[in-house]
Chain A
Amino acid sequence: MAPHLGQLTSATKTVHVRNLVRRFATKTILDGVDLDIEEGEFVALLGKSGSGKSTFLKALAGLDHDVEGTGTLDTPENLSVVFQDARLLPWRSVIQNVTLGLPGAAGQEAGGKALAEVGLEGREAAWPNQLSGGEQQRVALARSLVRQPALLLADEPFGALDALTRLKMHDLLRELCARHRPAVLLVTHDVDEAISLADRILVLDAGQLIEDLRIDLPSPRDHGDPRFAKIRTQLLSRLGVETPGRRAA
């Protein structure tokens, strides 16, 4: 496993990354990434495919076994990951999936509450296969929240959902984050998604962060707002899409 240096250096920094390098064979995927994420800050990470987004997220999650690399990487012990697929165990009921690995009755109660929070009260006994894609992703959110994470890592969590469900999930995620205040790193390829959710947007390109943009629009954000459109154009150009006004798909 690549170096993973345990505890926090600063009280308010949830994530502290300096000069992070990750390599696969001879190819350098992450080439000296520096990043700090404050407590409760919602950060979105944009990037073309192959830019190293997923490698970065895996490094933060401590999932990059056998990957070569160097650098300083401080993340809280208590972090949760939401994957692109809901990744529910099909042989465990919904509530069992939420409380997976949690001990005893306290876990059960917290699990029930978390399910209610994502609007799935009463579906505790259902099998994951009986739920729609959006509902499965809600269960995955509940599974992450029930652990009260200091850091929530999300790897294109809504990428597999249809457009309408995705919008509803944005509202839900915004609401949940406002209540629980974890620091969030949301990896996405959807520029609008990033702008409507994040406090801060990063763009990763060829293994380096080439943009760090603070978004000061009031929430909830109006896609028709001219400032929204301006930020979108700016980000799209950083991503190499040079058609002004075209919406990111």
Chain B
Amino acid sequence: MATIWDADEVKSSRQSGRETVLTVPAVTRPTSRHRRRLGPGPAIPFGLQIGPALLVLLWVAGSAFGWIDPRILSAPWTVVEAFGRLIEQGRLQDNFVTSATRALLGLSIGLVIGTILAVTAGLSRIGEALIDGPVQIKRAIPTLALIPLLILWFGIGEGMKVTTIVLAVIIPIYIHTHNALRGIDSRYVELAETLRMSQKDFILQVVLPGALPGFLLGLRFAVTLCWVSLVVVEQINATSGLGYMIELARNYGQTDVILVGLVVYVLLGLVSDGLVRLLERRVLSWRRTLAN
């Protein structure tokens, strides 16, 4: 939709530009000829930054004027101090590395399993009969509800944590990749048949590239889910990691440390989403030309 609105804007702005050149100043344009704009209008510069900046400003003002009790929410400068202290002590780095390792391990394993399941279910009827049902059932169970069972099976060590993340990540990867595979135009299948392509060529040239947009969409959801699951498993049963650091700070009432943890989570979430989008733009450059 956005591109259509954009195109309309370009057209109408060109037209109005031409009209201002042509109209004699004395002649006022009849208002009835002015079409009401239904789109959201031109973009505001730095529009996306305004909301967050306003929130930070409120926080600064609230803390400076004493409206916010530091026991409820530490002042921004206290948080910055805590940030420096945690880095000096090495606690932030250590916990970050522990958390990132868990997240990356879980994400990578989940990616591989989810993709294999999706391709198997998408390309063969037997695969679909065996895989699709169980995955849909798993999808209906919140991953976090599985944690008690996973603790009984895997204990409270790294195995349980990584498994929880893997189980969470598989679902969006599977759903979106499978959906994209199923959505590949049957005309391309017909084409591959007339070109007498081999099964291998068909999968490599038609199926996988065709399903790539779906896979990448799934990946974006998976990355977000992977951080969410990480937080939960680390706050339930852990002796290291960002979630553990936050949980510990809650025990001592250190809102500044909690906030440092949250800020790190925000940065991780935004950076990883940005990375996936960058990847998307690189890999799907054939689609960008369409948007242009």
A contacts, CB < 8 Å to B: 61-63, 79-81, 83, 85, 87, 89-92, 96, 100-101, 127-130, 143, 147
A62 to B193 alpha-carbon distance, docked (Å): 9
Give the contacts of B149-207 with A (CB-CB under 8 A): 187-188, 190-198, 201, 205-206
* B289:A92 contact, CB within 8 angstroms: no
* A101:B194 contact, CB within 8 angstroms: no
A134 to B230 alpha-carbon distance, docked (Å): 53
A63 to B205 alpha-carbon distance, docked (Å): 20
Q: Which residues of A contact B114 (CB under 8 A)?
A: none
A75 to B282 alpha-carbon distance, docked (Å): 43
- Tell me the minimal C-beta distance from B272 to chain A in angstroms: 25
Q: Among A80, A83, A90, A147, which residue has the most Cβ atoms of chain B within 10 A?
A: A90
Q: Choose one: B194, B197, B205, B287; the contact of A92 (CB below 8 Å).
A: B205
With A83-B187, A101-B201, A129-B289 known to touch, is A91 a contact of B196 (CB < 8 Å)?
no
Residue of A nearest to B284 (CB): A91
A79 to B191 alpha-carbon distance, docked (Å): 12
A129 to B291 alpha-carbon distance, docked (Å): 10
With A101-B205, A127-B289 known to touch, is A87 a contact of B212 (CB < 8 Å)?
no
With A89-B209, A91-B212 known to touch, is A129 a contact of B194 (CB < 8 Å)?
no
With A87-B188, A101-B201 known to touch, is A92 a contact of B209 (CB < 8 Å)?
yes
With A89-B209, A101-B196 known to touch, is A129 a contact of B188 (CB < 8 Å)?
no
Interface size class on chain B is: 20 to 34
* B194:A63 contact, CB within 8 angstroms: yes
Q: Which residues of B contact A61 (CB under 8 A)?
A: 194
Residue of B nearest to A91 (CB): B209
* A100:B289 contact, CB within 8 angstroms: no
A180 to B284 alpha-carbon distance, docked (Å): 37
Q: Among A63, A89, A130, which residue has the most Cβ atoms of chain B within 10 A?
A: A89
* A63:B197 contact, CB within 8 angstroms: no
- Tell me the minimal C-beta distance from B278 to chain A in angstroms: 18
A85 to B286 alpha-carbon distance, docked (Å): 19
Give the contacts of B47-69 with A (CB-CB under 8 A): none
With A129-B286, A129-B289 known to touch, is A89 a contact of B188 (CB < 8 Å)?
yes
Q: Among B193, B194, B210, B212, which residue has the most Cβ atoms of chain A within 10 A?
A: B194
Q: Which residues of A contact B195 (CB under 8 A)?
A: 100-101, 143, 147
With A63-B194, A101-B197, A127-B289 known to touch, is A89 a contact of B187 (CB < 8 Å)?
no
* A63:B190 contact, CB within 8 angstroms: yes
Verify if B290 is at the interface (C-beta below 8 Å from A).
Answer: yes
Q: Among B201, B205, B212, which residue has the most Cβ atoms of chain A within 10 A?
A: B205
